[in-house]
Structure 1
């Protein structure tokens, strides 16, 4: 080490200086933020039909999330907010990278803890412990709570999510379920990232707010092809967009190498009908998958085990840029 230091003193000093600068930036950035755990009452509806038809009778459940807001001297400042919703593997590194990016751009963020609030680590391979319906309800109950926060501008709140969280970000814009939960608050925009587009709604009434889907061309967990027809069907108001990234798998926006998850459920051969009452129907039999047992039966007709996931550097860079531009455009006008 002494020998290297003697030969390359300038190089080593440059490296040390860079490390120190990064540490100083990170410490100062963290000190410029305030984090709060926010608790609220939600419930455990299994299906969207439970929310639409029987919300008052669902088992109540306390849920929480982590709110991060800039820490400045202007205590009355109201910030635009981005609510993030994780996927079936719960919160992963690249999800936090998005939140960090938003925070550095001056947004408040809320990390919704639907899984941890229910003592669940993952729903991969089952998709019953924490469902889309539960998480949509969580998201709106969080929005109601955060709308009362003195530093949040309730008119400028977006929702984004990945995979299962993408379903939440997408279908929180579906008016039958949204209006069953609340008519008092709404999301200003929706950014679903590789959501399940293989659920075909009979009622195509969605929010007027901007919705944009980001998905990988060769995703075999939540395939891209159904998203094309989905967007055509619901884009009656011209507010729904779709970006498909070439040669990109599920979790293309992560830094992880490609891997095969043998427990993940591939929905590439599925197209489920969604009734106006919120029932997701099995392929062929058209029976509602309104319980864990019925969903398991329904999956037998089209679901296969084994999916590919992992990052694509080109798609990742484009997705992060698009996400920030989308939030700037829809929340900071």
Structure 2
């Protein structure tokens, strides 16, 4: 079966630099805003010329940087009449990929980038600041998931006053339990995950989403049986094995005092030399899961961002 993909062309593309911070996990978790300053950039693409203000999806890439699957999603959203802004969280920080070395950058750095991008783009004359969705993949999906925490928003995004209208996280890592993690923004969230993901296992995400739903949050986990990591990445057909890919799949971590992360099992402070860290992960395209996920995301975008199709 051929996978249908709308190849929409942007009427305008702008490269927009913005100031952010490079924070360690501990610095982020205690609310510091005095980390190492950095200028990162993103690419804004608008679906049509004119003066109308568009809804926007801000996209956070995974540990391999901006891949073809992110570009595919851009085209898909543009065809729906939705603008896109892809943040490059790595190049400005001198990083190419974190696949084999997760310690190069704090796990929540892209949350800071997302908040700062939202604050800047909310002022853009062609963007409707009330209709901005955050979407991320793998590492970016993890950051999308936790960008919804009201505690993080209070510490790192309160100054701008801008809010995301929705959150979409693809195959995030849910192995870390943060303080007050069940207190999330009221806006809806959808999590998409494959049951055979051996990089970011689905089980901890099932548990986290279950806790959120028990609190009455508008969150759903959409599971794809047999699908692996990056199941929407057409470049990964056939599957690609990363033998040195670092994974927390067998770790369970929790936030303790003063923003310190601990191994839940050993009660020892966590580091990337922890014995729970393993290497070896597979990424694999799954056409059926990819098609179903695109349809589900399109319906979610239509309901939450209400784009106006091109006449």
| TM beyond 0.5 | yes
Within the candidate set 293, 297, 306, 2:280 is matched to 306
2:186 corresponds to which of 204, 208, 216: 208
> What are the equivalent positions in structure 2 for 1:97-116 lying under 5 Å apart?
97-116=72-91
Q: Please give the alpha-carbon distance, in whole angstroms, between the structure 2 residues aligned to 1:128 and 1:71.
A: 40
Q: Return the offset for 1:313.
A: 1.0
The answer to whether residue 196 in structure 2 is matched with residue 218 in structure 1 is yes
Alignment equivalent of 2:272, drawn from 296, 305, 308 = 296
Q: Larger helix proportion, structure 1 or 2?
A: 1
- 2:221 maps to 242
C-alpha contact (below 8 Å) 1:79/1:107 kept by paired residues: yes
Map 1:134-213; keep pairs closer than 5 Å: 134-183=109-158, 184-203=161-180, 204-213=182-191
Give unpaired runs (5+ residues) of structure 1.
1-24, 290-294
State the match for 1:14 in structure 2. none
Match of 2:49, SS state, is coil
- Contact kept, 8 Å, 1:63 with 1:113, in 2: the verdict is yes
Range that drifts further, 121-130 or 222-231: 121-130
Give, in angstroms, the shift of residue 227 of structure 1: 1.0
Distance in 1, matches of 2:91 and 2:40, equals 9
Per the TM alignment, residue 266 of structure 1 is displaced from its structure 2 partner at its CA by 3.1
Contact 1:69 1:108 (8 Å CA) reproduced: yes
CA deviation profile, 1:229-272 (whole Å, cap 9, x unmatched): 11111221230110110011101112221121111123332211
Q: How much has 1:275 moved relative to structure 2?
A: 4.2
**Separation in structure 2 between the aligned mates of residue 187 and residue 275 of structure 1, nearest angstrom:** 28
CA contact (8 A) 1:202 1:276 kept: no
Post-superposition offset of 1:278: 4.3
* Mapping of residues 83-98 of structure 1, within 5 Å: 83-98=58-73
Aligned partners of 1:214 and 1:278: how far apart in 2? Answer: 28
Equivalent in the alignment of 2:210: 232
Q: Which residue does 1:267 correspond to in 2?
A: 248
On the 8 A contact 1:194/1:214 being kept in 2, the answer is yes
**8 Å contact 2:21–2:33 — kept in the other structure?**
no
Q: Would you say the 8 A contact 1:208–1:237 is kept in 2?
A: no
Equivalent in the alignment of 2:239: 258
Where 2:18 maps in the other structure, the secondary structure is strand
1:326 maps to which residue? 300
Q: Which segments of 5 or more consecutive residues in structure 2 lack a partner in the other structure?
A: 1-5
Partners of 2:251 and 2:263 within 8 A in 1 = no
Instruction: Identify which range, 274-283 or 172-181, moves more after superposition.
Output: 274-283
Determine helix, strand or coil for the equivalent of 1:212. Answer: strand
| CA distance 1:80–1:288, shift in 2 (3 Å) | farther
Equivalence for 1:72: 49
Q: Which has the larger radius of gyration?
A: 1
Deviation at 1:51, TM superposition (A): 2.4
Indicate the RMSD between aligned Cα atoms, in angstroms. 1.8
Report the Cα distance in structure 1 between the residues aligned to 2:219 and 2:258, rounded to whole angstroms: 23
Q: How many residues align?
A: 296
Residues 1:38 and 2:16 aligned together: yes
- For residues 52 and 225 of structure 1, do their structure 2 counterparts lie closer, same or farther at Cα, with a shift above 3 Å needed? closer
